Amino acid sequence: MYKNSRGRPGVMLAAVAIAQSAVALDLSVVNVALPEMRTALGFAPLGLSWVVHAYALTLGGFLLLGGRACDLYGRRRLFLLGMVVFGLCSLTGGLAQAPWQLIAARAGQGLGAAAATPAALAMLTTTFTEGPQRVRALGVWSAVNAAGGALGVLAGGLLTQYAGWRWVMLINLPLVAVALALVLAGAPAEERPARRQRLDVLGAVLATGGVGLLVLAVVRTDAQGWGSPATLAMLVAAITLLAAFVFAESRAVAPLLRLGLLRSRWVAGANVLAFFSTAGQFAAFYFVSLYMQQVLGMGAAATGAAFLPFSASLVAGTLVATRVTAARTPRASLVPGALLAAAGLAWFAFISPHGSFLTGVLGPCIITGVGVGLAMAPIVAAATTGVTPREAGMASGLINSSRQLGGCIGLAVLATVAAHRTGTATDPAALNDGYALGLAVAAALFVLAAVVAIGVLPRRRAETPDPRPTAPAEIRLEGTPS
């Protein structure tokens, strides 16, 4: 069994926050540097997109496996392994001399992040007891995760402009080193179970293959289109594999994802909420960034700096959310937060080709940031409510998968909607119309998230996931009757 010692909670929280900032940063930090990478390494036009897609593919595909592995082999071990892989691949990418080397490094970063991210979240949920302490810790984690995307645009612009594109990869090295040192100092060593469960290999293959194919199909729609034979074939294959995964998990003795976990309205509702709200958030980053550069003519560094008010307001919303959630329930912050984010994005939808940062971006940026902070911070607390320590990694992998898939699928769908409105035109007025439509749809996604929160999440914390174990008696879950 695992030791009962919780280690040093403050040190653990700092380590997890630093590690998550590196992982979240990497989702957006390379976007601004892509033109420099193409020139330096000689990328083909279609090959350049794989610098982004390789990371999204391995991260999304392996999160469930990473979450379950940390339950079986130790959260601390998986975190250390994941961060070492992430750091080494960051170094490899920063030293890359050919396109394939950079793409392979990005895939390796995603693999390391898929192990470290659910392990980090699971360490938080087992280090801090359920209630106000855990809510505050998860609020910090959520704020870092959400703000990382916005700060990644700023960091990417500054590093590319003043230090060179290689530093968007190498900047991870000090972050990884500090996170590793803090975890080694603050997290207690874990004992192995007296009898180790075997990893659900069939479930791992089906889940990784299904999610990976789904992400691949979605991210390639920019080149192939939603109606192309290749896209349709990948979507059908992904759905088939995921259906087979659900069937296999319902009969597995020690499943990768115990389906009984989804009987909790907290867990199920939080994952649906994470999907829709992350889709809206990612789309907002994308369209607002393009609007400032393609319509307002702002440079990369200025565009990154323009996201600072969003990050500051998001942190403010997160601070309020942690207080509200600690005193009441996650639902009390989720509903007004989602509606406020929707209002901010609806305001964004009135952008004009003749606008400016002060008149068209700053106000809705602050409103949206506060709303996203209020809505996103409690989602992880909801997704782990009532989950036993033995399944903390499973629940963490699930909520991170929902967020990753929501961001990936939502962005691809909304980008297609915007492109359909714009057509082949490239003038600022046409681009503005497409971005405005995308932002309006993103607002609708947050309204949908609010509806789900009202209709699915319980009003009280009393409900917990189905505790019945599927594990052998020797490794019975905590809180399960003998």
- Round to whole Å and give the CA distance between 64 and 69: 9
Please say whether the beta carbons of 377 and 321 come within 8 A. Answer: yes
Tokens at residue 268, please? 């199920």
243 and 266 belong to one structural domain: no
Please check whether residues 145 and 222 belong to one and the same domain. Answer: no
Same domain, 176 and 215: no
For residues 281 and 160, state if they share a domain. Answer: no
CA angle 346, 347, 348 (to 5 degrees): 90
Total domain count for the chain? 3
Q: What percent of the chain shows pLDDT beyond 90?
A: 35
On whether the CB atoms of residues 457 and 334 are closer than 8 A, the answer is: yes
Looking at per-residue pLDDT, the higher value among 126 and 209 belongs to 209
477, part of any domain: no
3-state secondary structure of 7: coil
d(C-alpha 150, C-alpha 87), whole Å: 21
Examine the domain organization and report whether 131 and 224 are in the same domain. no
Q: Angle 362-383/392-422 helices, nearest 10 degrees?
A: 150
162 and 180 co-located in one domain: yes
Q: What single string gives the DSSP state of each residue in 211-243?
A: HHHHHHHHHTHHHH-TTSHHHHHHHHHHHHHHH
Say if residue 328's pLDDT is above 90: no
What is the pTM for the complete model shown? 0.83
Residue 295 lies inside a defined structural domain of this protein: yes
Residue 473 DSSP symbol: G
DSSP symbol at 4: S
- Mean pLDDT of all residues in 28-40: 82
Residue 78 lies in a domain: yes
Q: Per the structure block, which two tokens stand in for 287?
A: 């369209």
Handedness of CA 322, 324, 328, 333 (dihedral sign): negative
Q: How many CA atoms lie within 13 A of 449 on its CB side?
A: 37
Q: Is residue 479 part of a domain?
A: no
Round to whole Å and give the CA distance between 147 and 412. 21
Asked whether residue 318 falls in the same domain as residue 452, the answer is yes
249 and 390, same domain (yes or no): no
- Residue 308 within any structural domain of the chain: yes
Cα–Cα distance measured from residue 228 to residue 250, given in angstroms and rounded to the nearest whole number = 33
Crossing angle, helix 265-290 and helix 330-348, to 10 degrees?
20
Contact by Cβ (8 Å): 22, 91: no
Domain boundary (170, 190, 210) is at: 190
**CA 281, CA 285: separation in Å to the nearest integer?**
6
Domain assignment present for residue 4? The answer is no
**SS3 category, 191:** coil
Q: Are residues 248 and 148 in the same domain?
A: no
Say yes or no: 113 and 161 in one domain: yes
Domain termination site, one of 219, 237, 255: 255
Task: Out of 190, 222, 237, pick the residue that ends a domain.
Answer: 190
Residues 309 and 325 both lie in one domain: yes
Note the pLDDT tens digit of each residue in 374-388: 988 788 888 888 888
The CATH number of the domain where 73 resides is what?
1.20.1250.20
Residue 475 falls inside a structural domain: no
Which tens digits make up the pLDDT trace of 42-94? 987 667 778 888 888 888 889 999 998 988 888 899 999 999 999 999 999 99
Q: For residue 380, what are the domain limits? A: 260-459
48 lies in a domain?
A: yes
Is residue 250 located within the same domain as residue 165?
no
Q: pLDDT tens, 134-153?
A: 888 887 887 777 667 667 77
Residue 27 · residue 215 · CB < 8 Å: no
